[in-house]
């Protein structure tokens, strides 16, 4: 049964549109127009033809007005486009099929780093096995790796310890979709056998990790956090999963995400913040952040389109890295927004993020947006005068966590880094550019809207995906293109603002910074910089130059080495 046409009210007047240009464009591409892609087309399908009365209704939704002669003139083309839409909808288009257009964050004329890159981890002190292995549950990857490398702990022992914690604490946090126990035990046994033979793959060899459940693993279901896909099993591994397997890491769990990568509500419940079980863990990398913060995995992988690594990392007090768009392949990951999706690590400290990024970055021949750009990491070489800015007006404005952010600048100055004030461009209607994400997401899950399977979602409120997908069917195709043209202007303006800088530091929730840098594709690392009186963490963010993760992470590590916020454990899960 077809859904009764849903015509949402516009929250603000629609922009003026050159209708003839719009229709000419839509006719040229054979789509019939994103403008009328919702209610008008559905009404036309039921009636068999589009009428002048339907067109008048659509005008009201869009804030447009045509006279009777103009409507009469348009009808033949609209009905022709309706037939074209019907042909398009007859095709089964998988979520894995990307549009024949791709986003490039690198502006013309900008040179990227070249060469092979240098990667060395910091020298570790002598690490001894704790009397109770569970005491290592919150140790960083660098320490866990040293235990495994020196064979003071086997990967199998480490894996069984984390599986036990996942079974005990995972249900309280509602952070796990599927335990991958059988696979994990096999991978751990393989790692131990290889290390015993002298074949050590590197610092992730034998280390248990969790995958956000939008990453395909062909032996287990990949639910995308949404009821319609609860039993979905995909037939190949995501590139990130394959590369971590090649690095010798041990997959112990598929972690929760808010349904289709929004929020922390999934089909099995709401993922909790380990620091306050009355709070959700934020989203959408909800389970990855919660499991890492609670010491249930050695590290995890999350994804970000518009805050899905930054936000739960802030809420859960962990260190989350959002790489440059195009740094990490998204092959085998659920597509939400082809021009904004990014995958990155969620860890206990900055160096762990660098280690994981080193294992997963680079082109794979499957995600056409991915580049081979060297990653330099050597935390023991001198940090040669990084050019660091700070988002001055964001630091100066009154807000709840101002004292914590101000202290970050003081710490940086105390270790010889003098940030210079900068301002981010503020002349663009950034909020309006969210239609880029909304339109792409509605296309990625277009079949859900037309089939009514969106009724299976737990969340059915105004801001949830089902309603957003319906509304997004009414985004004009021309305005989607115009928004992307403005996006280019934003990229140019931010490039000018960061001219001469390697990175800048900003309050995590500084005005427009999250939306702007997700649109431009810049990398960020978010890490704890204090705790409120109620015991919950707060965070600071460092934003790097495109493909400048190495320097960005070096400065963030220098700050983290001078503080201890990242070493604290939520009391209900502490060892």
What is the predicted pLDDT for the residue at 35?
42
Annotated active-site residue 284? The verdict is yes
Domains of the chain: 1-91 (no CATH), 139-426+489-567 (3.90.1300.10)
Predicted confidence at residue 237, as pLDDT, reads: 98
Query: Which stretch of 88-97, 487-496, 498-507, 536-545 has the lowest confidence by average pLDDT?
Result: 88-97
36 within 8 A of 78, measured Cβ to Cβ: yes
Q: How far apart are the C-alpha atoms of 71 and 55, rounded to whole Å?
A: 7
Catalytic, out of 242, 281, 282, 284: 284
Q: What are phi and psi of 507, to 5 degrees?
A: -50, 135
Residue 268, judged by CB atoms within 10 A of its CB (0-12, 13-18, 19+), counts as: middle
Contact criterion met (CB below 8 Å) for 40 and 58: yes
Average pLDDT for the chain: 91
Residue 155 appears among annotated catalytic residues: no
Which of 308, 339, 524, 539 does the annotation list as catalytic?
A: 308
What is the reported pLDDT for 48?
Answer: 65
pLDDT tens string 394-449:
999 999 999 999 999 999 999 999 999 999 999 999 999 999 999 999 999 999 99
Is residue 414 annotated as a catalytic residue, yes or no? no
pLDDT of residue 239: 98
Count of residues for the chain? 575
Tokens coding 456: 């299976």
CB 457 within 8 A of CB 259: yes
pLDDT at position 50 is 87
Helices (H), 116-154: 141-149
DSSP states of 364-389: -SSSTT-------B-TTS------EE
Q: Among residues 155, 212, 311, 339, which one is catalytic?
A: 212
Neighbours of 380 (CB within 10 A): 8
Using CA atoms, how far apart are residues 569 and 528, in angstroms rounded to an integer?
A: 12
State yes or no: pLDDT of 32 exceeds 80. no
Extract the tokens encoding 451. Answer: 């089939």
Cβ-based neighbours of 537, under 8 Å, separated by 6 or more: 275, 314, 315, 316, 317, 528, 530, 531, 565
Q: Which two tokens stand for residue 185?
A: 């035990």
Please check whether residue 32 is in contact with residue 26, taking contact to mean a CB–CB distance below 8 angstroms: yes
Q: For residues 144 and 204, give the distance between their C-alpha atoms in angstroms, rounded to a whole number.
A: 9
The answer on pLDDT for 354 being more than 60 is yes
What's the confidence (pLDDT) of residue 43?
A: 52
Q: Which residue from 560, 513, 357, 481 is spatially nearest to 15, judged by alpha carbons?
A: 481
Residues 6+ apart with CB under 8 A from 528: 317, 318, 319, 537, 538, 539, 565, 566, 568
The pLDDT, as a whole number, for residue 505 is 98
State the residue for tokens 């009428």. 51
The mean per-residue pLDDT over the stretch 549-570 comes to: 98
The rounded percent of the chain whose pLDDT value lies above 90 is 81
Give pTM, 2 decimals.
0.90
């Amino acid at each position: 049964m077809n859904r009764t046409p849903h015509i949402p009210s516009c929250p603000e007047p629609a922009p003026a549109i050159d209708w003839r240009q719009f229709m000419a464009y839509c006719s040229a591409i054979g789509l019939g127009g994103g403008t009328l892609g919702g209610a008008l087309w559905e009404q036309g399908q039921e009636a068999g033809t589009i009428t002048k009365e339907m067109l008048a209704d659509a005008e009201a939704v869009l804030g447009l007005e045509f006279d009777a002669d103009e409507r009469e003139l348009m009808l033949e083309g609209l009905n022709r486009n309706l037939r074209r839409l019907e042909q398009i909808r007859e095709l089964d288009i998988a979520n894995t099929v990307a549009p024949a257009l791709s986003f490039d964050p690198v502006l013309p004329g900008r040179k990227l780093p070249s060469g092979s890159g240098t990667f060395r981890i910091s020298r570790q002190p002598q690490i001894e096995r704790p009397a109770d292995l569970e005491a290592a549950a919150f140790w960083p990857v660098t320490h866990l790796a040293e235990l495994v490398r020196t064979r003071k702990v086997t990967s199998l022992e480490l894996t069984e310890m984390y599986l036990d914690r996942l079974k005990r604490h995972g249900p309280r946090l509602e952070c796990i979709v599927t335990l991958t126990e059988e696979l994990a035990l096999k991978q751990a046994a393989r790692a131990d056998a290889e290390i015993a033979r002298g074949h050590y793959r590197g610092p992730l060899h034998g280390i248990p990790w969790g995958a956000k459940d939008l990453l395909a693993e062909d032996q287990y279901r990949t639910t995308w956090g949404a009821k319609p896909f609860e039993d979905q099993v995909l037939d190949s591994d995501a590139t990130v999963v394959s590369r971590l397997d090649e690095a010798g890491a041990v997959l112990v769990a598929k972690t929760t995400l808010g349904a289709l990568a929004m929020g922390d509500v999934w089909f099995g419940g709401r993922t909790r913040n380990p620091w306050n079980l009355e709070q959700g863990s934020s989203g959408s990398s909800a389970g990855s952040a919660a499991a890492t913060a609670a010491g249930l995995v050695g590290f995890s992988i999350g994804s970000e389109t518009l805050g899905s690594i930054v936000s739960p990392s802030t809420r859960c007090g962990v260190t989350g890295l959002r790489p440059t768009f195009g740094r990490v392949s998204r092959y085998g990951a659920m597509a939400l927004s082809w021009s904004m999706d990014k995958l990155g690590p969620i860890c206990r400290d900055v160096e762990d993020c660098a280690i994981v990024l080193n294992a997963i970055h680079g082109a794979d021949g499957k995600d056409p947006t991915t580049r081979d750009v060297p990653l330099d990491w050597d935390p023991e070489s001198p940090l040669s005068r990084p050019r660091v800015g700070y988002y001055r007006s964001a630091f100066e404005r009154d807000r709840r966590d101002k004292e914590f952010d101000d202290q970050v600048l003081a710490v940086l100055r105390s270790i010889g880094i003098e940030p210079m004030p900068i301002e981010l461009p503020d002349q663009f209607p950034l909020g309006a550019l969210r239609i880029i994400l909304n339109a792409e997401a509605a296309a990625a899950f277009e079949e859900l809207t037309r089939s009514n399977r969106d009724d299976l979602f737990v969340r059915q409120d105004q801001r949830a995906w089902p309603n957003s997908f319906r509304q997004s069917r009414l985004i004009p195709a021309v305005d989607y293109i115009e928004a992307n043209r403005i996006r280019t202007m934003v990229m140019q303006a931010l490039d000018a603002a960061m001219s001469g800088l390697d990175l800048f530091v900003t309050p995590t929730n500084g005005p427009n910074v999250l939306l702007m840098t997700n649109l431009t594709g810049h990398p960020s690392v978010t890490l704890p910089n204090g705790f409120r009186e109620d015991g919950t963490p707060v965070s600071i963010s460092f934003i790097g130059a495109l493909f400048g993760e190495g320097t960005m992470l070096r400065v963030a590590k220098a700050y983290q080495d001078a503080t201890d916020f990242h070493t604290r454990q939520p009391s209900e899960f502490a060892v």
